[in-house]
Chains A and B, each alone.
Chain A
Amino acid sequence: MMNVEKLREIVGNDWVITKREQMERYLVDETAPGVRPKPADNVVVVKPANTSEIARILKLANIDKTPVFVRGGGTGLCGGAVPTLDGIVLSMERLDKIEEVDKDNLMIVAEAGVTLESMLKAVEEAGLFFPPHPGDEGAQVGGLVACNAGGTRAVKYGVIRNYVKGLEAVLPTGEIINLGGKLLKNNQGLDLMHLLIHSEGILGVITKVILRLYPRVASSGTLVISYDNRHDAIDSVPKILQSGVIPLAIEYVERDEIETSARYLNMKWPATKGKAYLMVILTGANDDEVYSQGEQVSDICEQCNAVDILIAETGEEQSRILKMRSELYSSMKEQYADILDVTVPPASVGVFMDRVDEIAKRFNTNIPNYGHAADGNLHSHLLADLQDKGIVRQVKREIYQEALKLGGVITGEHGIGVIRIPDLDLCPDGKMWELMRGIKRLFDPNNILNPGVGLLG
């Protein structure tokens, strides 16, 4: 079992927490309260300073067979950071140094505990740009990589996976490995780095990452496009992409939800007309390029019955709109039993939403949707009253089945974590899960790292 004294020897007395009242915030994450797993009773929080301390902790845990739960910013939405068994919470918060912003190679080298907020600041100060915006800026880069975060701004350059060029990790057996590097091409053997990206922390503890950066965009604008009818909004999306304009982001939101987020932030949603909206972020080498794209997008959207198109151009106005979108989840999570993360082929979003509507009708409820329209990734909200009726799971599984029928998956960006394991039986099984379990055993023979997360069985 846990050897607290040895943990103190490794990280120093100040960095081991054993009192429950001092560790409450290490026991939860941002998962909707209705489905959030309960933390175990006997937990120790350890805050190592560097990779070698982490290696020593994992060696010790592996010998003692103590479960270790890795914790970044705690912004995950699927219970992956909650210690569900007695064991160690390994907090990465002290690995918070940005080693280098390499302007020549357009890359940043950062320790895993650096927050998205401080990384974005460093990147901006260097005059560079990190395109994706997975939402809560309290997230840590190690967590972003371990969970392959998505979020807004993934249309043009992709999700976090597309940015990771190298990483350092500690294996559950205590060895340190370095994968990839400041490289844009690397065919040297099987790609273990991409196996660790979105491993949800079950294969190793990511301690350092190398991420690709881009030059700062010279000009950008955010369009807020209003529609009276959801279908018109959704129909516009493939047409925009077919036109050759590739926005940084295309987000779909509905009035009630975005206004809830605006109120939560003490802000005001700028659109007064319509009830379904697309938020489209355009970037270009200069204002003329942004406006010419804007004109193209507006022609398409007007043909699809858009009733109003606004543009935010100043930094402040654009960041307010992004903030309202990014905080949607936080503003609503207390009111909902569960928030889903289904992804379908992008052109099937409209059909999928119709099917969700049919399910809502059948269960006599309302299921609002918002999400990353161009990525086919939608967040359906299950109201708290479904929980009172005891039918959250039933409704959720029907939605999952519809997504799977369309060739989709039950999670596109939030991950399996703990909360989606009971529904993995719906997903195609066969050899896939068996191989994944084999890989887990190879990396972690004693199943000490994030046990119960991410895998069926």
Chain B
Amino acid sequence: MLRIIVPIKQVPDMSQVKFDTEEGRVDRSSAAAEINPFDLNALEAAVQIKEKLGGIITTISMGPRQAESALRDALSRGADDTVLLTDRAFAGADTLATSYTLASAIRKLGEFDLIICGEKTVDGDTGQVGPQIAEHLGIPHVAYVSKLEEVGEKLVVVCEMEGERYLIESDFPVLIAVTKDINTPRLPSLRGKLNARKAEIKTWGAEELSSIAEKGRFGTQGSPTRVHRITIPAEEGRKGRIFRDTSDEAIEEITNALYRYKG
């Protein structure tokens, strides 16, 4: 029976969220919060393994108290247990402090076989937290996993990076970060969801992690990087151009444009 851990993050619904272009920030109040879509693929991968081989899935998340709803959603989608890491001391964390905090909590949870993350979050878009967790824990990791070939004595996965496909084999315990191609996450049942809404969510603060972690490595204090400014690039709209007398010029322009955007 595999012990699987799925770290998740609550993010704003990016199809609705508004950007404050002047201030250079995301206006989180403008959109509903939901589980990071890539994390749903991670959770679905875990549930499929559990259905095949048996297992226990624990989801963990670091965030404000409201992130409980993301963990409840995870329970309705097949997770068995959840932990919310919430504390003022965790606030303002960059990817290093975030991965350190999550890794510390995973250590506290005890032994595990597999950690499955989404490839990145849709609000941060760094793709760093998963692999960093593996580094903190001293275990191997494979990022951009698009297929699980074998989950048995060993783990064999397909990783897609920079236009190439790699078949990678690893021992357990291991961390993988999965892409959207790995599966289509199923919908939770309404009954499951109604039950999960009443579930108690276990929460840990800095104090609970103090025996295995250094408090100075949490939150702002543990973050060597700072975001100074976020620029939101202006969207380029559709453009029309009329070629009047000759079609040759138009054909050349279109061909060039196609080459240019092919990259």
Please indicate whether A and B come from the same complex rather than being unrelated chains: yes
A14: nearest residue on chain B (CB-CB)? Answer: B242
A5 interfacial by beta-carbon distance below 8 Å: no
Are A316 and B37 in contact, CB atoms less than 8 angstroms apart?
yes
For B17, give the chain A residue with the smallest CB separation: A315
Cα–Cα, bound, A14→B242 (Å):
8
Stretch of B55-63, B80-88, B137-145, B188-196 at the chain-chain interface = B188-196
How far, in Å, is A97 (CB) from chain B's closest CB? 13
Q: Which of A14, A219, A309, A313 contacts B189 (CB 8 A)?
A: A309
A-contact bits for B81-99, CB 8 A (1 contact / 0 none): 0000000000000000000
Contacts of A309 in B (CB 8 A): 189-191
State how many angstroms separate the Cβ of B27 from the closest Cβ of chain A: 11
Q: Mark B14-51, 1 if CB is under 8 A from A, else 0.
A: 01101000000000001110110100100000000000
Residues of B within 8 A of A295 (CB): 190, 194
Given A125-B18, A291-B197, verify A315-B32 contact (CB < 8 Å).
yes
Whether the Cβ atoms of A315 and B194 lie closer than 8 Å is no
B187 close to chain A: CB less than 8 A? yes
B186 A270 Cβ-Cβ under 8 A: yes
With the chains together, A148 CA to B30 CA distance in Å? 32
Residues of A contacting B184 in the complex (Cβ-Cβ under 8 angstroms): 267-268
User: Is A438 an interface position by the 8 A CB rule?
Assistant: no
Asked if A173 is an interface residue, CB under 8 A from chain B, the answer is no
Question: Which residues of A sit under 8 angstroms from B187, Cβ to Cβ?
Answer: 224, 270, 310-312, 317
Does B68 count as interface, using CB distance less than 8 angstroms?
no
Would you call B13 an interface residue if the criterion is a C-beta within 8 Å of the partner chain's C-beta atoms?
Answer: yes
Q: Which of A230-282 contact B (CB under 8 A)?
A: 267-268, 270
Is residue A3 within 8 Å, beta carbon to beta carbon, of the partner chain? no
CA distance A310 to B194 in the complex (A): 11
Task: Kindly state whether residue A294 has any CB partner on chain B within 8 Å.
Answer: yes
Q: Closest CB of chain B to A226's CB: distance in Å?
A: 10
Instruction: Contact check, B189 vs A310: say whether CB atoms are below 8 A apart.
Output: yes
Q: B119 contacts the other chain (Cβ, under 8 Å)?
A: no
Partner of B190 from the list A294, A314, A317 (CB cut-off 8 Å) is A294
Q: Is the CB of B190 within 8 A of A315?
A: no
Q: How far is the CA of A310 from the CA of B31 in the complex (A)?
A: 23
The CA of A298 and the CA of B197, in the complex, are separated in Å by 16
A14 / chain B contacts, CB cutoff of 8 Å: 242, 244
- Contact across chains for B190 and A127 when beta carbons are under 8 A apart: no
* Cβ A314 vs Cβ B189 within 8 A: no
Known: A127-B30, A219-B32, A270-B187. A315 touches B16 (CB 8 A): yes
A41 adjacent to chain B (CB < 8 Å): no
Per-residue contact bits, chain A 280-316, to B (CB 8 Å; 1 contact, 0 not)? 0000000100010011001000000000111111111
CA distance A241 to B37 in the complex (A): 33
Whether A223 lies near B37 (C-beta < 8 A) is no
In the complex, which residues of chain A have a beta carbon less than 8 angstroms from the beta carbon of B185? 317
- A398 CB–B CB distance under 8 Å: no
A287 to B: closest C-beta gap in Å? 8
Interface size of B in residues (CB-CB distance below 8 Å):
26
Tell me which residues across on chain A come within 8 A of B186, comparing CB atoms.
270, 310
A319 beta carbon closer than 8 Å to chain B: yes
User: How many of chain A's residues have a CB under 8 angstroms from any CB in B?
Assistant: 27
With a cutoff of 8 Å between Cβ atoms, the chain B residues found around residue A268 in the complex are: 184
Complex CA gap A111/B137 in Å reads: 59
Contact yes or no, A308 B189, CB < 8 A: yes
Q: Any chain B CB within 8 A of the CB of A124?
A: yes
Q: Residue on B with the closest CB to A224? A: B187
Q: How many angstroms from the CA of A314 to the CA of B41 in the assembled complex?
A: 14
CB nearest neighbor in B for A302: B191
Contact A315 B13 (CB under 8 A): yes
Name the A residues within 8 Å of B30 (CB-CB): 127
Q: How far is the CB of A49 from chain B (nearest CB, A)?
A: 13
Cα of A224 to Cα of B188 in the assembled complex, Å? 10
* CB within 8 Å for A223 and B190 given contacts A14-B242, A316-B37: yes
User: How far is B187's CA from A313's CA once the two chains are assembled, in angstroms?
Assistant: 9
- On chain A, the residues within 8 Å of B40 by CB distance are 314
The answer to whether A311 and B189 touch across the interface, beta carbons within 8 angstroms, is yes
B15–A310 contact, CB under 8 A? no
| Nearest neighbor of B31 in chain A, beta-carbon distance | A315
Given the complex, which residues of B lie within 8 Å of A310, measured CB to CB? 186-190
A243 nearest CB across to chain B (Å): 16
Q: Please state if B18 and A311 are interface contacts (CB–CB under 8 Å).
A: no
Residue of B nearest to A13 (CB): B244
| Chain B residues within an 8 Å CB radius of A124 | 16
Chain B residue with the shortest CB-CB distance to A294: B190
Chain A residues 203 to 227 lying within 8 A of chain B, measured CB to CB, are: 218-219, 223-224
Tell me, in angstroms, the Cα distance from A310 to B244 when the chains sit together.
55
Q: Which residues of A contact B15 (CB under 8 A)?
A: 315-316, 319
- Whether B13 pairs with A311 at a CB distance below 8 angstroms is no
Shortest Cβ distance from A289 into chain B, in angstroms?
Answer: 13
> In the complex, are the beta carbons of A314 and B18 less than 8 A apart?
no
A124 to B32: give the CA distance in the assembly, Å.
13
Chain B residues positioned under 8 Å from A294 (CB to CB) = 190, 193-194
In chain B, what residue has the closest Cβ to A223? B190
Q: A14-B242, A219-B32, A308-B189 are in contact. Are A314 and B13 (CB under 8 A)?
A: yes
Instruction: List 13 A–B pairs whose Cβ atoms lie within 8 Å, in order of A's numbering.
Output: A14-B244, A223-B190, A287-B69, A295-B190, A309-B190, A310-B189, A310-B190, A311-B187, A313-B34, A314-B37, A315-B32, A316-B37, A317-B185
Closest 3 CB pairs of A and B: A310-B187, A315-B13, A314-B34
Question: Which residues does A use to contact B, with CB under 8 Å?
Answer: 14, 124-125, 127, 218-219, 223-224, 267-268, 270, 287, 291, 294-295, 298, 308-317, 319
**Extra 17 A-B pairs, beta carbons < 8 Å, given A314-B34, A316-B15:** A14-B244, A124-B16, A125-B18, A127-B30, A218-B32, A224-B187, A291-B193, A294-B194, A308-B189, A309-B190, A310-B188, A310-B189, A310-B190, A311-B188, A314-B13, A315-B32, A315-B34
